[in-house]
A and B are shown apart, each in its own frame.
Chain A
Amino acid sequence: MIVCMRYPRGVLLVLALGILIALSPGHAFASNGAGDATPSSSELVESPAEFDGDVISFTGEAIGEMMTRGDMAWLHLNDDAYRDRNVEEGAPLGGYNSGMAVWVPVELTETIATFGDHAHEGDIVRVTGTFNAACPEHGGDMDIHASSLEVVTPGHRVEDPVHPRKLVWAVALSILALGAFLADRLRAHAEDTQGM
């Protein structure tokens, strides 16, 4: 049995409009389950006024270190092409780093174990908080004042082994450099001897 449901034309129109609005540039920013917008750092920097004062959700790799200031701390979360895997691990080049500074209570940061640097891929952290295009509390910095934080994916140590081909080049060029040095010294010595 084929059930054919008939909807009034008005309902279809509203549905179509809803889809159009959802796909329009003004609503291009996704939202999390709680209804908070989840713009990327590039979107925040490109349209700061649009998000100023909004509660947003932001996810990125914890980079560098946590800088504690009393019972609060600064975090930097990168949501760039290297969020899951960095260049040392073989990630393809994907442009500059980009991310957002986060001002967060220290007690929320205790779950963060790894910060990204050359030897580490940092924890991927999701924060929810208020976005400030020019935070009056922090000298006009663009930041997020986070009220919640969770570690989405733990970070890990990154191995960066020596490439054997590079080793061969290093040895060959060292020999060449030594040869050039000796040739220079020998010619200088020969000239000195002739001069005497």
Chain B
Amino acid sequence: MLLRPRREDHLVIGKYTGKIVIGIGLLMVVPLLTSIVFAEWDTAVDFVISISLCMAFGYGTQAVCRTDRDLGWSHGLVVASSSWLVATAIGAMPHWLSGHMGSYLDAMFDVMSGYTTTGLYLMQDLDHIAHGLNMWRHLLTFAGGQGIVVIALTFLFKGAVGAYTVYVGEGKDERLLPNVVQTARAIWLVSLVWLAVGAAALAIAGLALGQDPVRAVLHGLWVYMGAWSTGGFAPQSYNTLYYHSLAYELIAIVVMIAGSFNFALHWAVWTGSRREIRRNVETVSFAITLSLTVLIATFALAKAGVYSDAMVLFRKVFYQLASGHTTTGFSTIYSRAFVTQWGPMGMLATTIAMAIGASACSTAGGIKGIRIGVIFKAFVQDVRKSVSPENALISERYHHIRDITLSDGLVRSAMTITIAYVLLYALITLAGVLYGYDFADAVFEGVSAASNTGLSCGVTSPSMPEGMKALYILAMWLGRLEFMSVFALGGYAISIVRGRR
């Protein structure tokens, strides 16, 4: 039985959604300062307009929605999903004002793609955009990787008891520390240390590659943000092909793989448990599935004779596959080269890698390694049961921070989300096919959007049908929030209309 939400429910949801939008406004101060430093005055005004909108909405909502009530479980989930929508609608303002977007829907597409760390984009003439706007593109993907709720938790929530529910609603469910606000700050600590090291390494590589110091630092920072957040945005339209450098690619691979690891794993290593890297079910699962998909793609491309040299072949395949599997979306080949050079088998291997994705509670998307690991263990357990005596007790364990015995509840939970992802992949592919795209292209691009990867084979473009853009926005949102909080928002909307008092 659905209960119609009371006034207090609306107030608490409005209050915390307002806080998160204020957080988005504060985040825009960074690109505003960037624009001022580079004397990009028109872009600076765009950010003043956008910050003002965020603040007017955020503080206006807070002023109207005054309540002392803390967040309940369903409130948290609704706040997480609704705040992503509002943050997308308002966060799209700088994109739209820049004049580089075909429509406001295109601007929302790029912002949702950024927050969800997908990396697909519809921005036109990217190579001529302002530094301020490029900073915003990369900052929003970095913030999205951390989780925009995590940002608000860190700075604005001041220890609200129900904050954990919003945190979970954003697709993260690991408590690194007993308090969720401390957990959010720990996530920031890990990311900022990686930021310092990763951005510095890329900037030094950029200098060595012939970039001038300012561009080397900016590109280093932005490519780091794209890699760590597994977002895949890059400052030039050539993506990481622009650098033509093995060193740059290697640094990017290290950062994107690190970014795709569970924050709990980072924290375990941070606090001295280095063995966790080798033992964790997610890293083991990632290593196996990455190796398998690299093998398939290498075999297919070797057979097709696209790359004449074995090392060249491996370099190209490993980079695109690592990028796909970590759901980053960086590439060193042209989008259409997936179709014109890699062919169906190469695309299939990449699609599988993207569909699986990386670790839970990380910046990455996709089904996630832990679920693949749990389902595989459950399969092994069932096979062992079937070949063992009837009265034998067969149990399976896996290691994730600690040893965990496989239970029916865990397997069911992993299967539920996996099935939801597979259904989403199927539906978004079907939509692509119905819009007239080739099946291979539709499945590749659909999985890329829904798994928040961002590799493209050319389907995503400003001339793509509006309906497809809207569906991809929905797929990116659902995939990033892992369904539950979006379902909660749907339930909330239905209960407003049909719930009993």
Contact = CB atoms under 8 A, between A and B. Distances in A.
Contacts of B74: none
A48 B210 contact: no
Interface in B268-299: none
Nearest to B311: A139
Given A95-B462, A166-B45, A184 B63 contact: yes
Contact of B308 (A93, A118, A134, A160): A134
Contacts of B333: 140, 142
B52 interface: yes
Nearest to A103: B244
Interface in A81-139: 81-82, 86-88, 91, 93-99, 101, 116-118, 121, 133-134, 136, 138-139
Contact of A177 (B42, B56, B102): B56
Given A76-B236, A134-B308, A93 B42 contact: no
Given A46-B336, A96-B462, A166-B45, A187 B128 contact: no
B467 interface: no
Contact of A87 (B46, B100, B315): B100
Contacts of B462: 93, 95-96
Contacts of A183: 59-60, 63
Given A48-B340, A139-B244, A181-B55, A134 B97 contact: no
A40 interface: no
A94 B126 CA distance: 12
A141 B49 CA distance: 42
Contacts of A48: 337, 340-341
Given A95-B462, A177-B55, A65 B210 contact: yes
A47 B337 CA distance: 9
Interface string A43-78: 001111000000000000001111111000110101
Interface string B40-83: 11110110110111111111101100100000000000000000
A177 to B, nearest CB: 4
B241 A141 contact: yes
Nearest to B18: A184
Interface residues of A, number: 64
Most buried by A among B41, B53, B59: B59
Contacts of A11: none
A189 to B, nearest CB: 12
Contacts of A143: 244
Contacts of A64: 127, 215, 236, 242
Contacts of B40: 118, 160
B52 A170 contact: yes
A101 B53 contact: no
B334 A45 contact: yes
Kindly state the interface size class of chain B when it binds its partner: 35 or more
Nearest to A188: B66
B212 interface: yes
A184 B65 CA distance: 10
Interface string A157-193: 0101111001101100110110111011001100100
Contacts of B397: none
Nearest to A41: B334
B127 A97 contact: yes
Given A45-B340, A67-B244, A87 B59 contact: no
A99 to B, nearest CB: 7
Contacts of A160: 40-43, 130
A142 B306 CA distance: 11
Given A118-B130, A177-B52, A82 B125 contact: yes
Given A63-B236, A67-B209, A88-B128, A184 B62 contact: yes
Interface string B96-137: 010110100000000000000000000011111111000000
Contacts of A139: 244, 246, 249, 312, 315-316, 332
Nearest to A63: B127
Nearest to A191: B66
Most buried by B among A66, A143, A174: A174
B381 interface: no
B157 interface: no
A157 to B, nearest CB: 12
Most buried by B among A73, A133, A140: A140
Contacts of A68: 210
Contacts of A97: 124-127, 237
B62 to A, nearest CB: 5
B461 interface: yes
A129 B55 CA distance: 54
Contacts of B53: 173, 177
Nearest to A78: B127
A98 B462 CA distance: 14
Nearest to A73: B210
B56 A98 contact: no
A174 B43 CA distance: 16
Contacts of B60: 180, 183-184
Interface string B218-248: 0000000000000000001110011110100
B315 A142 contact: no
A93 B461 CA distance: 12
Interface string A8-40: 000000000000000000000000000000000
B212 A134 contact: no
22 contacts: A45-B336, A45-B337, A63-B236, A69-B209, A74-B210, A76-B242, A78-B127, A78-B237, A80-B125, A87-B124, A93-B125, A97-B127, A101-B238, A118-B131, A136-B312, A139-B249, A139-B315, A160-B130, A166-B97, A170-B45, A173-B48, A176-B52
Given A64-B215, A67-B243, A101-B244, 7 more contacts: A47-B340, A81-B125, A96-B126, A96-B461, A170-B49, A173-B56, A191-B66
The 4 closest A-B CB pairs, nearest first, are: A173-B52, A67-B210, A177-B55, A97-B237
Interface of A: 45-48, 63-69, 73-74, 76, 78, 80-82, 86-88, 91, 93-99, 101, 116-118, 121, 133-134, 136, 138-143, 158, 160-163, 166-167, 169-170, 173-174, 176-177, 179-181, 183-184, 187-188, 191
